[in-house]
Amino acid sequence: MPETRVEVPEMVMLEILSKLPVKSLTRFRCVCKPWCSSFQTPHFITKHHRNNLHNNNLNLLLKRCQGNTRDDIYYFSQLSIEKGQNFSAQHNIHLPFFEDCWYAPVVSGPCNGLLCLHDADKVALWNPSTREFKTLPQSTVQRPPSVDSTSFGCVGIGFDSQNGDYKVVRFVTNYFEENEDEGLMGDWNHQVELYSLKSDSWKEISVPGVQPYGSPLFNNYVNGFYYWQAIGDSDYLILSFDMVNEKFSALPLPEFGGSLAEYYLELLDFNGLLGAIIYPREGTDKSFDLWVMNGSWTKQFSIESLPRVERPLGFWKNGELFLESSDHELVLFDPSTRELKSLGIHAYQETMQIITYVESLVPINGRSEREELIIRRPAGDASN
């Protein structure tokens, strides 16, 4: 009996392929040229990312320092998300690009699966799913004449949906030394510069009337806007940047009944809305309040009196909360059972950061991790 050959329509095949992980698609690039080309189209990349979002296919990176001081080299660990593996570290990832920096790379994002890493004047984009890494070019924005030194501050990453462009915004401070002979006082001024992935270049944009501060503990990019905590003339507020129109605006903080002298406030993306998690600075038994901005600030929920925890690190799929314990161990709190589970992963005090991201095929016109000498090593055990 002759074999019956079934032809699967191309659109159906691509629909099936768009549901697969990046690792599988990378292998399938070699199957045939049309598949390889299809995986690089904006339509397929968007479809693939939306499928991952819809299915809540989250991945976990842990940034940490395991030495005896905060100055030791930081690295990333890819955590297992398989059931029964207790979020054990699978691979440790070392980025040579940042090893000679003053501090660990600050992580901004993710934005559609991309991370922005920065330290001092160094900025890079990283897609941990495709393992592509791009060092951004040095800024060509002109500094004021007679500037003595320049420092680089807060950074944010986002997506301009109108132009299909990924952008990085960076705050710069220029310092001028005191010169008694010329009657000049020590002074400083600010600049803001914006990088476009499409043009692979920086430009200067208008400076807002307030200054952002701090390094984000959570992802501060939410639906086309990046957010920072900021200081105005007489109060604290939230500064936002619209990636499409390239404009800044200000929002109030939640009226939570306390002061920032008594409480920490961390901004985050909570289910596609701007959120703020608030918890006390003092004490080893901590309570956490989550506020959400949806036209106005409303308190979403509270987690009361968790023993021997230092700070929150991020939410997981079903509302569980990753935390750093007083022993500087990664723990997971389940609000439905109030169970606090030790995960056996340690780091130097307050150096842990959880990065939750969805896999993405977004290209960044960079180089492979291998070309950048990025090292991925098996972790060996959960504490490595």
pLDDT tens-digit readout, 212-260: 998 888 999 999 999 999 998 889 999 999 999 999 999 999 999 999 9
pLDDT recorded at residue 102:
62
Residue 383, pLDDT above cutoff 70: no
The reply to whether 212 and 317 lie within a common domain is yes
18 and 103 inside one domain: no
Question: H or E element: which one contains 190?
Answer: strand 187-196
Query: Can you read off the two tokens belonging to residue 3?
Result: 């074999």
Highest mean pLDDT among 17-21, 131-135, 184-188: 131-135
Q: Do 38 and 121 belong together in one domain?
A: no
Q: Give the phi and the psi of residue 331 in degrees, each rounded to 5.
A: -130, 160
Same domain, 124 and 239: yes
* One domain, residues 202 and 347: yes
Q: Is residue 100 part of a domain?
A: yes
Domain-located, residue 365: yes
193, part of any domain: yes
**Does some domain include residue 383?**
no
25-44: per-residue pLDDT in tens? Answer: 877 777 777 777 777 888 88
Mean pLDDT lowest among 60-69, 102-111, 124-133, 242-251: 60-69
Which structural domain range is residue 28 located in? 9-55
Task: Of 155, 151, 153, 189, give the one whose Cα is nearest residue 169.
Answer: 155
Chain-wide mean pLDDT for the chain? 88
**One domain for residues 344 and 360:** yes
pTM over 0.85: yes
- Domains of the chain: total: 2
- The structure tokens 């600075």 sit at 281
Q: Which residue has the tokens 């934005």?
A: 111
Q: What is the mean pLDDT of residues 82-107?
A: 83
What is the arithmetic mean of pLDDT over 173-200? Answer: 80
Q: Does 26 share its domain with 95?
A: no
Does 21 reside within a domain? yes
Residue 103 — very low, low, confident or very high, per pLDDT cuts 50/70/90? low
Q: Which of 319, 345, 263, 298 is nearest to 88 (CA)?
A: 345
Q: CB under 8 Å to 314, separation ≥6 — which residues?
A: 218, 268, 321, 322, 354, 355, 356
Distances (CA, A) of 64 to 208, 219, 268, 340, 374: 33, 16, 20, 21, 16
| pLDDT tens digits, one per residue of 274-306 | 999 999 998 878 999 999 999 999 999 999 989
Question: In this structure, are 20 and 67 located in the same domain?
Answer: no
- Report the CATH number that the domain containing residue 71 is assigned in CATH: 2.120.10
Residue 104's pLDDT band (boundaries 50, 70, 90)?
Answer: confident
pLDDT at 382: 40
Kindly state whether residue 339 falls inside one of the protein's structural domains: yes
Specify whether 261 is located in the same domain as 358.
yes
Q: 45 and 104: one domain?
A: no
Whether 1 is covered by a domain: the verdict is: no
Say if residue 178 is in the same domain as residue 291.
Answer: yes
**44-73 pLDDT, tens per residue?**
899 989 998 888 889 999 998 876 655 567
For residue 136, give the DSSP letter.
Answer: P
Q: Are residues 157 and 216 in the same domain?
A: yes
> What separation, in Å, do the N-terminal and C-terminal C-alpha atoms of the chain show?
58
Contacts 24+ apart (CB under 8 A), 298-305: 299/254, 299/256, 300/270, 300/275, 301/335, 303/333, 303/335
